């Protein structure tokens, strides 16, 4: 039986590098992982005044989809040395209403992606901070900073570098093991 993993991409652009890497990981994921994309682009900004008996339907959909998973894989770009606002909003929407977080206890892993050389190091580490608060045991090793990503993809957005595929396969294998450790 495989573990259902929410695949959350921090970029909203359809042809984003982060989405391309996330979809590549879905294809090569360890056999025990079922990566299920969970979209964040339609989530209204979190406003506690809207979190009543009839919250926005997109919030309900998102919370239900994440709740139906056992772990979360984040693939994110870096915006201004941090995570994109849409990703932070998704964290906020999923953590509310108070006492009903869909994140709590779910093992997590982070892959950060950048067209630059640093591989979105800042976003990777900024995302770790709220995950600690949200009680998401986050895999420490291996770390995944995918720099110069445009050079790794072909004209169709598919990974063309075998060493990157091998690295990402190893990452998903490590994540599968991490999930097992956190569930013991």
Residue-wise pLDDT for 13-37, tens only, equals 989 999 999 999 999 998 899 999 9
pTM of the model: 0.96
pLDDT at residue 184 above 80? no
* pLDDT band of 182, cuts 50, 70, 90: very high
List all residues 6 or more positions away from 53 whose beta carbon is below 8 Å from its beta carbon. Answer: none
Q: Could you tell me the CA-to-CA distances from 169 to 19, 28, 109, 174, 176 in Å, in that order?
A: 16, 6, 13, 9, 11
Distance of CA 18 to the CA centre of its chain: 10
pLDDT in tens, 103-134: 999 999 999 999 988 878 999 999 999 999 99
Mean pLDDT of the chain: 95
For residue range 83-105, what is the model confidence (pLDDT) as tens digits? Answer: 999 999 999 999 999 999 999 99
DSSP of 125-164: HHHHHHHHHTT--B--SS--EE-SGGGGB-TTS-B--HHH
Domains and CATH numbers, the chain: 3-182 (3.40.50.360)
Task: Enumerate the β-bridge partners of residue 37.
Answer: 7
* pLDDT for position 77: 96
Region 54-72 average pLDDT: 98
State the average pLDDT over residues 164-175: 96
């Amino acid at each position: 039986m495989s573990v259902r993993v929410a695949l959350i991409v921090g970029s909203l652009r359809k042809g984003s590098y982060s989405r391309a890497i996330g979809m590549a990981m879905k294809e090569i994921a360890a056999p025990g992982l079922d990566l299920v994309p969970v979209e964040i682009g339609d989530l209204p900004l979190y406003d506690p005044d809207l979190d009543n008996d009839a919250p926005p339907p997109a919030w309900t959909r998102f919370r239900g989809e994440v709740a139906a998973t056992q772990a979360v894989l984040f693939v994110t770009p870096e915006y201004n040395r941090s995570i994109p606002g849409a990703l932070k909003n998704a964290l906020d929407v999923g953590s509310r209403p108070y006492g009903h977080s869909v994140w709590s206890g779910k093992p997590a892993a982070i892959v950060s992606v950048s067209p630059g050389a640093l591989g979105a190091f800042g976003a990777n580490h900024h995302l770790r901070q709220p995950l600690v608060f949200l009680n998401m045991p986050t895999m420490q090793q291996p770390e995944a900073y995918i720099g110069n990503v445009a050079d790794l993809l072909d004209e169709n957005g598919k990974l063309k570098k075998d060493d990157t595929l091998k690295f990402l396969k190893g990452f998903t294998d490590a994540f599968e093991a991490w999930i097992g450790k956190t569930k013991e």
